[in-house]
Amino acid sequence: MKVAIDIRCASPQAWVDAVMQDFDSFLQDHADCERKASAMAMSLVAKYPDRVEIIPPLIETALEEMEHFRDVYAIMEARGVQLSKEMTKDPYIQRLRTYMKSGIEAQFLDRLLLGSVVECRGAERFRLIYQALEPGDLKRFYHHLWASEAKHGNIFVELALKYFPQDQVYQRLDQLMDGEAKVVQQLEIRPALH
């Protein structure tokens, strides 16, 4: 059974160039994304406390995302970069949410699968950053994040498979991945994770 998913379109080189040209702004956005990812995992625990099989893995995911935030913040401190004054809404996430279905069960499935989609895109983009960086600590850090994000993408699919039939999970994931590709192709190029 496959739990890893493949994105449908690659991030453009223009995005990599924008990040490399303004890495401090990218770090600010990256820190915000790690905080949001941790909060998202815990919001699923809070919203679905009766779905006990999701709770331990999502607690671990939330803690790992907070560790990433801590690590990004340490890099920011060393570079003299402050956190953003406020966390703005992420246009990528907002557009992905438009693909969510209504209904309790459908929303539960979509929340899990969109978690996977976002993590897989993050893994792809961390890989691109890793490849663009010069050798050193920062390059090693983004290599670590690349592997971690890919693992998180798998976790959300595994959780969905505990509650929904395999055919339903993969059919819906296929639809969401098509939608995500459209979203990425329409995104403004900026020094941000999404």
- Spatial CA neighbour of 121 closest among 97, 99, 153: 153
This prediction's pTM? 0.92
Q: How far apart are CA 5 and CA 160, in angstroms?
A: 13
Count how many Cα atoms sit within 13 Å of the Cα of residue 167 in the half-sphere of its side chain. 0
| pLDDT, tens digit (0-9, with 9 covering 90-100), for 43-80 | 999 999 999 999 999 999 999 999 999 999 999 999 99
Q: How far apart are CA 147 and CA 162, in angstroms?
A: 23
Q: What's the pLDDT at 87?
A: 85
| pLDDT, tens digit (0-9, with 9 covering 90-100), for 131-146 | 999 999 999 999 988 8
